Structure 1
């Protein structure tokens, strides 16, 4: 650990890059999430139907069908064979996320992400304990249960309780029962389990984790030899366990974060004052000396903060 661990998370990056630079990807994510949500809302709110539907299934400009592959697979499990447009929409979405990274959906599209981020921010501000931490495999069991429930009930079971759908429904129709599910997720992450919903429970995240396991878009700790042990990257990462193999590796150990759990949120890039991290692709083979190894540019050691 270095003396910089005593500084507030991201403070050194703010001094080095400025506030905007230290929050660039966070701001871009919020813009992206708001844009995806707004494009579905301007129809019912203002009568401008650029897109009809929601994140489960939509039709853009009456031409482009998009279908959540998880929804389509639940329908098949319920013994409903989808129409060609639904199959085509699921193929488009599935291939896109398989290439760019499945859990990009979680950090750049899902409207529940700001809810859970808000709960985490308040959790940290109140200095609350970590709380109950279910095993990460729990979300895969939840995913299996979703398919089982669809098969047993003959319905797309998850859509009855999906907080993502409920949030959009609540924004369209106003205050109602749908908000119960969104509030429940917020309270769960705040009082029961820090980062518990997205990291341990949500079956949607589990599905997109599996879908993007071999995706092209990756974060790399390409300059890990510069890391000064401030630990900020660990503090802001929603899946902090994915950082260690890349950042602490030595010699021929890859600096790429290859875990499907990585959401490609870019926060580790934002808060690192040493610019250890950057976006790249999974075939990036640039050499990256580990800590304490010889490098063309001497450095003091790694960049980031455990939560």
Structure 2
């Protein structure tokens, strides 16, 4: 491995930390947006004296927090609105491709401005793969924390969460979700899509001081991941995961193994929440380029590369004991 390659791979090991930071910031953003919206409503009504003591405390806190940025909260705090389902970010309208597809099937009509708002996420997925699932989805932040809880329980002797289902099941969920959206004329797929659920429920909790039925459904997905299958909802049931897997099948950014630096330690396989097999070059369309396998690899054998297909199985890592013994025996026989 030349020095430039070594530096590049060492740098990529830290991408998982950056990913966690982005996931955290996205989640915080989804909390702040309804807080700002509620504060703007209070300001617009000019009824501070009519607010309850707790509402006045909230008003004072938001006023102190936002005053360094703007003295016109009604207009000055509108740079970011919406959720990861569909929102406006500094004047740029962005929508989840599933939101657009759901709207089209529910209404049997293409609303072109809405369709255009999905083009950037769409092209990002085509080139970079399922980065929304791994790097932006607010549910991923909670699901990965939940995976740590499940791992702790399994280490404590609770032997559950090990079921393996057919990954193609989520494509059926996507198909049925779109069919029912068309039949009932509403975007029903959003009712079972975790990123959409989280955006709605956080708004309900903060702006309306209560939760909807979606909160119950999301808790059930967390229990499903712990009790039935590790990261089971994303792997087997998520309609958005199904769509992004299809869109990112021929992505250009892929993780590739340098077999000459692999020691077959299996750490990459153990860390992969989607049950893939990086140790034998099996990433496929399910990989969301989360970089967890890159971060944990002790020999820097995994790194990003530009390619439309994964490498075929390259066999044992050249630093593995089995590979070393085999070649020593071959050398002795000759």
Shorter-chain TM-score range? 0.7 to 0.9
Residues 194, 289 of structure 1: alpha-carbon distance in 2 compared, 3 angstrom cutoff: closer
Residues 173, 23 of structure 1: alpha-carbon distance in 2 compared, 3 angstrom cutoff: farther
Q: Of 83, 89, 112, which aligns to 2:139?
A: 112
1:106 shift after superposition? 0.9
The residue aligned with 1:73 is: 101
Residues 161, 197 of structure 1: alpha-carbon distance in 2 compared, 3 angstrom cutoff: closer
- In the alignment, the residues of structure 2 paired with residue 181 and residue 55 of structure 1 have an alpha-carbon distance, to the nearest angstrom, of 18
Question: Residue deviations 1:21-46, cap 9 Å, x none?
Answer: 99733322221112233344433213
In terms of fraction of residues, the more helix-rich structure is: 2
1:28-107 pair list within 5 angstroms? 28-47=18-37, 48-61=77-90, 63-101=91-129, 103-107=130-134
Residues 157, 301 of structure 1: alpha-carbon distance in 2 compared, 3 angstrom cutoff: farther
Residues 90, 205 of structure 1: alpha-carbon distance in 2 compared, 3 angstrom cutoff: same
TM-score normalised per structure 1: 0.77
- In the alignment, the residues of structure 2 paired with residue 203 and residue 301 of structure 1 have an alpha-carbon distance, to the nearest angstrom, of 42
Residues 122, 70 of structure 1: alpha-carbon distance in 2 compared, 3 angstrom cutoff: same
SS at match of 2:118: helix
Question: Residue deviations 1:44-79, cap 9 Å, x none?
Answer: 213522222112211222x31212111111111123
Retained in 2: the 8 A contact 1:227–1:301? no
The residue aligned with 2:268 is: 233
- In the alignment, the residues of structure 2 paired with residue 114 and residue 285 of structure 1 have an alpha-carbon distance, to the nearest angstrom, of 27
- In the alignment, the residues of structure 2 paired with residue 150 and residue 212 of structure 1 have an alpha-carbon distance, to the nearest angstrom, of 24
Retained in 1: the 8 A contact 2:264–2:316? no
Retained in 1: the 8 A contact 2:264–2:279? no
1:268 shift after superposition? 0.7
1:169 shift after superposition? 2.4
Deviation above 4 Å: which 4+ runs of structure 1? 20-23, 283-286
- In the alignment, the residues of structure 2 paired with residue 194 and residue 66 of structure 1 have an alpha-carbon distance, to the nearest angstrom, of 31
Retained in 2: the 8 A contact 1:233–1:272? yes
1:143 shift after superposition? 0.8
The residue aligned with 1:148 is: 179
Residues 44, 264 of structure 1: alpha-carbon distance in 2 compared, 3 angstrom cutoff: same
Retained in 2: the 8 A contact 1:39–1:50? no
Residues 45, 301 of structure 1: alpha-carbon distance in 2 compared, 3 angstrom cutoff: farther
The Cα RMSD (Å) is 2.8
1:119-198 pair list within 5 angstroms? 119-127=146-154, 128-174=159-205, 175-177=210-212, 178-198=214-234
Residues 22, 84 of structure 1: alpha-carbon distance in 2 compared, 3 angstrom cutoff: closer
- In the alignment, the residues of structure 2 paired with residue 210 and residue 60 of structure 1 have an alpha-carbon distance, to the nearest angstrom, of 26
The residue aligned with 1:10 is: none
- Structure 2 residue runs of 5 or longer lacking an equivalent are 1-9, 38-76, 323-334
- Structure 1 residue runs of 5 or longer lacking an equivalent are 1-19, 247-256, 294-298, 303-307
Relative contact order, higher structure (CA 8 A, sep 6+): 1
May I ask how many residue pairs the two structures share in their alignment? 264
Which has the larger Rg? 2
